Amino acid sequence: MSEEERIERLLRRTAAAWGQPAPQPDFERRVMWRLRPRRLSRARRLVMALYALLALAVSVWAMRSEAFDWDVVVLSILLQVVAVLFLGRRRVLLPS
């Protein structure tokens, strides 16, 4: 008998002696509660928006002497903001 077969037999005997584990009765409810989408309160959304605006202002100030085509930068930022607003309202799940 190979070592793999002995390990398999030992595992089967151990599983038979202990029985099959069963989840707790409210397991599914607790899992769904943990996985539910959480919504930010109005105050927290405001804090996030202010943080984003502050980060944008600091970034623009830090790169003020760089030779950027600011039209392209503003357009790319606005497109991202519009996409976030649009996807946030539709509750679309994005692939990870």
Question: Distance between CA atoms of 20 and 15, rounded to whole angstroms?
Answer: 7
Prediction pTM value: 0.43
CA geometry: angle 72, 78, 81, nearest 5 deg: 145
Write out pLDDT tens, residues 30-56.
888 888 877 888 898 889 889 988 998
How many residues comprise the chain?
96
- The answer to whether 71 and 64 have CB atoms below 8 angstroms apart is no
DSSP state of 91: T
DSSP state of 93: P
What is the structure's pLDDT at 35?
85
